[in-house]
Structure 1
Amino acid sequence: MKIDRFRSAWGIARGPNMNNWAQWFPELKAQGYSGVEVDIHPLEPSRDFPRLRELCDQTGLELGLMIHSSWFQYLGPRPAGTKADHHLQNYRSLLKSVQQLKPSTMNFQSGEDLWDVEESIKFYKGTIEIDSELGISGRVYHETHRNRSLFTPYATRRILEAVPELRITADFSHWMVGCERVLDLSEGDTVMMDAIIPHVYHIHARIGTTQASQCPEPTNPVFKEEKECFERIWKDIIRSRVKDGATKRIVFVPEYGPFPYHPIGSAKTHSQVADEEGQRLQVLFSDFAATLNDA
């Protein structure tokens, strides 16, 4: 099992003609990142997509994409009355558009939290059909995220029972703060997480707390309980992917973002936290995967 680390570009200004990224990408490569994960929605496809692909080719970085099925960049109020069919139209159109970028991973924040589970199931069944039509089955992951259909572990489990082929991105920081508890201590929570973990193929490795979706100092002893919970769950994900025998690698993203995710007055910037956690977790995950490969 190969463990690859991508860096989120969240909160890092592109600069004119992406010149800031042109300086930053080689630094990422030097730090040991295999790729960069970019939100496509602020980009203008005809101008920015070729430039982004060029920068990745020049630096040897793979490209991961962050895509929304609606309410792009969360600008303005949430669009009213949008249902599965509307999201599926966006989904197909966006996936067609981004193929020119030759992405290694495609992560969707998809659906809506106000839908009933049946509407979400309809949507995700539709995404599986579109993935097949476009020849990208198994390459799209749907993120566990507030505001979206996978906003709680309860809804997610019911959706996965109905759409078992769905592959998800684990950003369980959203669930910990939403549920206001550590997620793997009670028997009921453990059973629930055990049912969900086999569907995870991509990890947003951000430590959250029971009161915030982003921990400003993950190695501070005050966050010991949350840190240990996330590390147990992430190891379970790696174990699950090794066990299936078909997955050759898993990508994780130390996805720490700027304010308001990152508290004002923090001792370190969100970028410092992301890079330090990325390096720490690279060792933790790779060493753990090696024990499984040797078993």
Structure 2
Amino acid sequence: MALLTYQSLWATELRRPGTPEAPLAERFDRVKAAGYDGMCIDLGALSLEEARATVPEYRRTGLGGLLTAFPGSVEDLRPALRLGREIGSPYVIVVGQVMPITVAGMIPVIRDWLRVSAEEGMPIQFETHRNCITNDLFATLQLLDAVPEMRLSADLSHYVVDRELTFPIPPEAMGWMSRVLARSDSFQGRVATRSQVQVPIAFPQFRRWVDLFEGWWEEGFRGFRARTDADCIFLCELGPPEYAMTDANGDELSDRWEEALKLRRIANAAWERAAP
């Protein structure tokens, strides 16, 4: 059992006007050289064909694979699951773009995606994410009750913003987050406040939020270690602008590459503290 730390290909983008992005191979090499265990590709940032171009890079570098899918229908998930198998992804993270208004309408959609997952022999985890079927924390909690086999990939930054959680977090809201963490089989590294989904973690005014997320990750790791002997994936996913905060010139306020390395150190320390 180990904590495996992954970087996101999307997070290696600069998205700076007039500055070309580094070639795909160079970005994979940099992640490998930095000591990450794997790379996650995101079908919200890449087309399926563009994502297929990464397959040789996984084979060349030996990085572990991980894939995030944004299926717009039940059957849209199937090709993503097959691509996940090609890159060696142990599961596929689902940010479902079918979004019924009611929980009663969501339940059959979740069950259909789980059916497709079983048919393809590729496990799935539903990411706690805005603008998707798990957009709202309260609806997600009801889905967890209704679909016991539903597993999550916890990116709690979305729910801090979704509920505009005040600091200190009210005990009731801490309980909601604990319910999410108890059903999560992977974790994503980003720190939010009630007003901003991604803040520079080295700025002193955000220290209390960093500590909060570190505590949540430790709680999630402790639960994970108690129920399985499998390896756990922690995905550093600090997105480019407009996720990253910028100044009046559009320049980022912090160095996301260095911040991701710091998040990796924080996660590793929390993993060790969570040991039985």
Q: Structure 1's 163 and 53: CA in aligned 2 closer, same or farther, altered over 3 A?
A: same
Q: Where does residue 146 of structure 1 map in the other structure? A: 130
2:189, 2:236 within 8 Å by CA — same for their partners in 1? yes
Q: Structure 1's 123 and 278: CA in aligned 2 closer, same or farther, altered over 3 A?
A: same
**Deviations, residues 19-41 of structure 1 (Å, cap 9, x unaligned):** 81112212111111111111236
Amino acid across the alignment from 1:4: L
The equivalences for 1:175-186 within 5 A come to 175-182=159-166, 185-186=169-170
Identical pairs, percent: 22
Residue of 245, 253, 258 corresponding to 2:235:
253
Q: Structure 1's 116 and 95: CA in aligned 2 closer, same or farther, altered over 3 A?
A: same
Q: Where does residue 2 of structure 1 map in the other structure? A: 2
2:24 aligned with 1:38, yes or no?
no
Structure 2 counterpart SS, 1:142: strand
The equivalences for 1:201-216 within 5 A come to 201-215=185-199
Answer with 153-162 or 182-191: which moved more.
Answer: 182-191
Q: Where does residue 221 of structure 2 map in the other structure? A: 238
Structure 1 counterpart SS, 2:255: helix
Amino acid across the alignment from 1:9: L
* Cα separation, 1, equivalents of 2:254 and 2:58: 20
2:98, 2:109 within 8 Å by CA — same for their partners in 1? no
* Cα separation, 2, equivalents of 1:106 and 1:25: 20
Alignment: residue pair count: 268
Residue of 17, 27, 31 corresponding to 1:24:
27
Please give the root-mean-square deviation of Cα atoms over the aligned residues, in Å: 2.6
2:263 aligned with 1:277, yes or no?
no
Structure 2 counterpart SS, 1:89: coil
Q: Where does residue 205 of structure 2 map in the other structure? A: 222
1:184, 1:229 within 8 Å by CA — same for their partners in 2? no
Q: Where does residue 178 of structure 2 map in the other structure? A: 194
Q: Structure 1's 204 and 290: CA in aligned 2 closer, same or farther, altered over 3 A?
A: closer
Q: Structure 1's 44 and 164: CA in aligned 2 closer, same or farther, altered over 3 A?
A: closer
How does the TM-score come out when normalised to structure 2?
Answer: 0.86
User: Which has the larger share of helix?
Assistant: 1
Structure 1 counterpart SS, 2:54: helix
2:107 aligned with 1:121, yes or no?
yes
2:75 aligned with 1:89, yes or no?
yes
Amino acid across the alignment from 2:7: R
Amino acid across the alignment from 1:221: P
Unmatched 5+ residue regions in structure 2? 15-20
* Cα separation, 1, equivalents of 2:252 and 2:160: 23
* Cα separation, 2, equivalents of 1:148 and 1:102: 25
C-alpha displacement of 1:10? 1.1
Residue of 49, 53, 56 corresponding to 2:55:
53
C-alpha displacement of 1:249? 1.6
* Cα separation, 1, equivalents of 2:218 and 2:270: 7
Unmatched 5+ residue regions in structure 1? 71-86
Q: Structure 1's 11 and 278: CA in aligned 2 closer, same or farther, altered over 3 A?
A: closer
C-alpha displacement of 1:250? 1.4
Structure 2 counterpart SS, 1:188: helix
2:92 aligned with 1:106, yes or no?
yes
Q: Where does residue 134 of structure 1 map in the other structure? A: 120
Structure 2 counterpart SS, 1:63: strand
